[in-house]
């Protein structure tokens, strides 16, 4: 059976942001996207992290912005290329800022580098990073974050909230996976290391997620598995995403995007139908990849009844 909504509770929703690449993107994020996403009342907002630490400062800046709100920030952290000492320092730095939820990732080697070619760090997997985060957090008990002035999420943690350490899951297999069993073993190892939430790679067919969750439950995975959903608003964006993730081409969606004068509307409708089927199938919530824009993810949430219907938005790509 697929996991049902926790205790009959309303499904959760959450968002992913990436660190802005320039001043204009930062001002759009801070002035418009972030306030709109926060106002929707998500469970958390996660912020991606460049493999090898390339976005550390900018990621932390965005997380600090989220910390100023009532919404809990979740920091993606990658460990590829880091020594234990560097990874521990990084975790402490984020904890010092008041961040207490993490998405622990191994991260990919730099382009053109194979696993065996060079030293890729002390931590060989996301599971080892999960353990290190637990260890560093435990060393710091009782939580010093209590002292962080003006940080609402630090107060919530002090009141006994469980620390979230999320990990990635791959319904259609990790690009280097040879079998479903290998993907399930990898996820089980992350849970055994202390992860308590999984967020999936994007996918385009509800059965990909529902079948994967059934198999994960049968294999012993008990943590929540949130489906990652990306409203795809244009053909070039779809092609880029397929290149980055190695996911199969969704033929019908591609055709519909190509044939339409309003591809953004097609992408939102597809994501809304997908989200609705997932919730009906028992998904405990939705994690929306936002591309640092709020209109499409909020329209999807409104479409499945998790938010009020918004005012007409025009073209989200404009
Ligand atoms: P692990 O599962 O620990 O895997 C480590 C390595 O083992 C992999 O790189 C691969 O070589 C191998 N492996 C893993 N699974 C299998 C398998 N089933 N079969 C065979 N070999 C396997 N990357 C970033 O750089 N920054 C981010 O912020 C970021 N956010 C992400 C968020 C989500 C929700 C997801 C799904 C992915 C994200 N990624 C991000 C991409 C991620 O770093 C890569 O997918 C990476 O290859 C695997 O990371 P992992 O944590 O799952 O590693």
Per-residue pLDDT tens, the chain, 318 aa: give them. Answer: 334 334 567 899 999 999 999 999 999 999 999 999 999 999 999 999 998 778 889 999 999 999 999 999 999 999 999 999 999 999 999 999 999 999 999 998 887 777 777 778 899 999 999 999 999 988 876 554 455 555 555 544 554 445 799 999 999 999 989 999 999 999 999 999 999 999 999 999 999 999 999 999 999 999 999 999 999 999 999 999 999 999 999 999 999 999 999 999 999 999 999 999 999 999 999 999 999 999 999 999 999 999 987 666 556 554
197: CA distance to ligand 1 center in Å?
15
Helix (H, G, I), strand (E, B) or coil at 306: coil
Say if CB 238 and CB 254 are below 8 A apart: yes
Looking only at the bridges linking them, the beta strands covering 72-78 and 101-105 are: parallel
The CB of 113 under 6 Å from ligand 1? The reply is: no
In CATH terms, 12-303 corresponds, of 3.20.20.220, 3.30.9.10, 2.60.40.10, 3.20.20.450, to 3.20.20.220
* Alpha carbon nearest to ligand 1 atom 51, residue: 105
pTM summary value: 0.91
* Alpha carbon nearest to ligand 1 atom 4, residue: 125
Of 229, 184, 232, 241, the C-alpha closest to 203 is 229
Catalytic status, residue 16: yes
Supply the pLDDT for residue 166: 98
Supply the pLDDT for residue 116: 73
* Alpha carbon nearest to ligand 1 atom 43, residue: 107
Kindly report the CA angle at 292 between 286 and 296, in degrees rounded to 5?
55
What is the best residue among 168, 178, 287 to mutate for testing ligand 1's pocket, by most ligand atoms within 8 Å of CB?
168
User: Position of tokens 């055709």?
Assistant: 255
């Amino acid at each position: 059976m697929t996991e049902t909504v926790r205790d009959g509770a309303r499904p959760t929703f959450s968002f992913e942001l990436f660190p802005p690449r320039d001043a204009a993107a930062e001002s759009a994020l801070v002035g418009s996207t972030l306030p709109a996403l926060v106002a929707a009342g998500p469970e958390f907002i996660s912020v991606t992290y460049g493999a090898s630490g390339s976005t550390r400062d900018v990621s932390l800046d965005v997380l600090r912005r989220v910390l100023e709100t009532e919404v809990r920030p979740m920091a993606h952290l990658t460990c590829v290329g880091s020594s234990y000492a560097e990874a521990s320092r990084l975790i402490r730095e984020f904890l010092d800022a008041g961040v207490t939820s993490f998405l622990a990732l191994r991260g990919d080697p730099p382009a053109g580098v194979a696993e065996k070619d060079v030293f890729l760090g002390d931590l060989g997997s996301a599971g080892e990073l999960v353990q290190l985060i637990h260890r560093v957090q435990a060393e710091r008990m009782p939580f010093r974050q209590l002292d962080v002035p003006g940080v609402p999420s630090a107060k919530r943690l002090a009141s006994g909230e469980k620390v979230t350490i999320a990990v990635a899951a791959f319904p259609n297999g990790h690009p280097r996976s040879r079998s479903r069993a290998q993907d399930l073993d990898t996820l089980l190892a992350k849970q055994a290391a202390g992860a308590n939430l999984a967020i999936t790679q994007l996918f385009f067919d509800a059965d990909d997620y529902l079948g994967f969750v059934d198999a994960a439950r049968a294999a012993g995975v008990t943590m929540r598995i949130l489906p990652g959903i990306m409203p795809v608003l244009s053909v070039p964006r779809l092609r880029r995403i397929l290149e980055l993730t190695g996911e199969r081409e969704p033929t019908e969606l591609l055709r519909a995007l190509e044939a339409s004068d309003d591809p953004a509307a097609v992408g939102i409708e597809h994501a809304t139908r997908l989200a609705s089927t997932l919730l009906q199938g028992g998904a405990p919530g939705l994690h929306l990849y936002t591309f640092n824009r709020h209109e499409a993810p909020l329209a999807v949430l409104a479409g499945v009844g998790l938010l009020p219907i918004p005012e007409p938005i025009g073209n989200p790509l404009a």
